Structures are given as C-alpha cells and as structure tokens.
C-alpha cells in the first residue's frame, strides 16, 4: 500500500460534529459567547402576558357581542309587547266598550253579558322594558316581555270572543223583537182593514193599508231586523192614515146630522108660528049703581085648534039685560 494514498484519503474526510459541540454552540453565540440565564424566563413571562391580554380582549369581545345580542333580543320582545298591547287596548276601548253598555235585557242570552264583564275585569301586566345593563338582566327582561306579549295575545282573543257573543246575542234579541212587533202590527192592520170597510172618508187609505200588509207579510220570516222594522213603520203609517180617514168621516157625518137637525127645527118653528095668546087679558067694569066688577078672561094659543070664544061681559048694570040676561051679576055674560 502506498502511504501517500493513505494521507490523501485522510485529508479528504470532512470533520464530524459531536453532541458536545452542539451543546457548546447552543450556550454560546456564533462568536462563542453564552446567552444570559434570565432570557428564557423573560420570554416565558412575555408569552404569558400576551396570552392573558389576548384572553381578556377575547372575553371582552365575547361579552360585548353577547350584550349586543341580548339588547337586540330584548328590543324585539319589547316591540312585540307594544304591538300586542296596542291591539288589546284598541279592542278594549272600542268594540268592548260598546258591548259593555249592553244590558242583560237587551240580549237573548244574559250569560254573554256576564262573561264579558269578567273579561273586562282582567288586569293587564305592567310594562317594564329593557332597563337592565348586562346581558343576564336583558335576557331575563326578554323572557318577561315574552310572557307579557302572550298575555295580551291570549286576552285579546278571549275578549274578542266575549264581545262577539254579546253582539250576536243582542242582534238575535233585536231580530226576535222586530218579528214580534211586526206580527202584532199585522194583526192590528188586518182587523182595521175589515172594520173600516165603508167607514172611511178616503178609500185610498185602505188601499195603502192593503199594500202595506202584503209587503209586511213577505218579511215576517226575514232575518234583517232593519228591513222588518221599516216594514212595521210603513204599516203603522198606513194604519194611522186609515184611522184618520175614519175619524174624518165620523166628524163629517156628525156635522151633517147636526145640520139636518137644526134645519128640521127651523122648519118646525116656521110651520107652527101662526098662533096668538090672550092669556091674562082682563076687562074690568066699575062704577054706576052696580057694585062689583065684570072681568073678561080668555086664552088663545096657536096649535091644535081654534081659539075658544071669549066670554061676554055682563052689561046689565050699565046697559040693561033684556030678555037674554039671567039677572045674575056674577061678572060674566050668561045666555
């Protein structure tokens, strides 16, 4: 073997780094200086601080997001309560107030009025709103507002149902009353139409009554109280017209009878007005040689026959009696 070749092989080999060399290099710089011992703990502390700060920032960001979310949810719940409350109050101050004025005698079923009274006594919840400052408080407020919205919704439905029941019951009573009144008026009209035959001054009033009876009869079984009441009013006006015509004929007949009686009385008076009366006339004679008095009495009245002859006066005292005198001086002339 050639020694020169062995030397060449040795020079061709690269140096191999050992573990000890690596440790020494880690403890020192490139220039061979060692790092300080406090460097690693400082790095650890800085890393911990960074982690804490990052955690705090992250938590605050999370809490802020939750708070914003809670505020939004609470605001939505508050809007829902206001909406439901507005609908309930509109019903309470509108149709419910009108229905509350209806009396038990105005409805067909009085229980509907009682049910409405109970609904009107319900106490609405007190609105608080979203006044909390943290997410937990806002979440609790959201839950409460949801319950209040449910209360308004439920009671709006039950109140609406009670109002409808009263309204329908009142309508049924009104219809029933209208039909009853129309039937009674039809009976009255039919009787008057029969009784007034030949007793009216104007017969067109009876024709009007007949037409009103026919129209009202067609509506006896209708379900519109307004139309039924209108037919009853028309019928009532026709009845009044016939009654007025009957009264007018009665008055006219009475006036005609009175006029005829007055004319007959005038005629009777003119027929028997030719009589005369002498009742109470007296002829009395006094003086001369004969005492006493001679009296002439006589009464004549028109009517049934000729007047009686007046007695002649006794003239024997002054003028002599002659053969026709009785000689009795009694104040009358005797044959």
Which tops the pLDDT comparison, 38 or 211? 211
Residue 65 has pLDDT above 70, yes or no: yes
Residue 3 has pLDDT above 80, yes or no: no
Confidence band, pLDDT 50/70/90 cuts, at residue 54: low
pLDDT at 133: 83
pLDDT at 86: 95
Instruction: Give residue limits of the domains in the chain.
Output: 73-173, 196-269
Q: Find the mean pLDDT for residues 296-322.
A: 44
CA–CA gap between residue 179 and residue 231 (Å, rounded): 10
Q: pLDDT per residue over 16-29, tens digit each?
A: 444 444 444 444 44
pLDDT at 77: 93
| pTM of the complete model | 0.56
Q: pLDDT per residue over 241-257, tens digit each?
A: 999 999 999 999 999 99
pLDDT at 18: 43
Q: Find the mean pLDDT for residues 167-176.
A: 96
pLDDT at 83: 94
Confidence band, pLDDT 50/70/90 cuts, at residue 68: confident
Confidence band, pLDDT 50/70/90 cuts, at residue 62: low
225 contact partners, CB below 8 Å, separation of at least 6 = 171, 174, 175, 177, 178
């Amino acid at each position: 073997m050639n020694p020169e070749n062995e030397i060449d092989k040795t020079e061709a080999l690269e140096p191999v780094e050992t573990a000890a060399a690596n440790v020494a290099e880690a403890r020192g710089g490139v220039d061979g200086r060692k790092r300080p011992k406090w460097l690693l703990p400082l790095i650890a502390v800085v890393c911990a601080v960074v982690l804490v700060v990052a955690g705090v920032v992250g938590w605050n960001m999370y809490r802020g997001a939750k708070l914003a979310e809670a505020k939004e949810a609470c605001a939505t719940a508050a809007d829902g309560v206001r909406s439901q409350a507005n609908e309930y109050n509109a019903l309470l101050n509108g149709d419910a107030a009108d229905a509350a004025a209806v009396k038990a005698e105005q409805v067909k079923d009085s229980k509907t009025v009682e049910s409405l009274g109970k609904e009107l006594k319900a106490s609405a919840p007190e609105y608080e709103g979203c006044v909390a400052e943290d997410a937990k408080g806002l979440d609790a407020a959201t839950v409460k507002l949801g319950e209040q919205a449910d209360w308004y919704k439920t009671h709006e439905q039950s109140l609406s149902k009670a109002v409808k029941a009263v309204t329908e019951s009142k309508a049924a009573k009104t219809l029933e009353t209208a039909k009853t009144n129309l039937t009674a008026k039809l009976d009255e009209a039919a009787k008057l139409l029969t009784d007034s035959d030949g007793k009216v001054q104007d017969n067109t009033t009876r024709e009007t009554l007949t037409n009103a009876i026919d129209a009202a009869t067609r509506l006896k079984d209708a379900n519109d109280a307004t139309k039924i009441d209108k037919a009853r009013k028309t019928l009532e006006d026709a009845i009044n017209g016939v009654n007025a015509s009957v009264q007018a004929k009665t008055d006219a007949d009475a006036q005609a009878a009175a006029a005829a009686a007055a004319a007959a009385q005038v005629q009777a008076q003119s027929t028997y007005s030719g009589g005369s009366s002498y009742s109470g006339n007296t002829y009395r004679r006094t003086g001369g040689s004969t005492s006493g008095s001679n009296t002439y009495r006589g009464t004549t009245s028109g009517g049934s026959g000729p007047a009686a002859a007046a007695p002649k006066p006794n003239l024997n005292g002054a003028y002599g009696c002659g053969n026709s005198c009785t000689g009795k001086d009694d104040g009358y002339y005797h044959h």
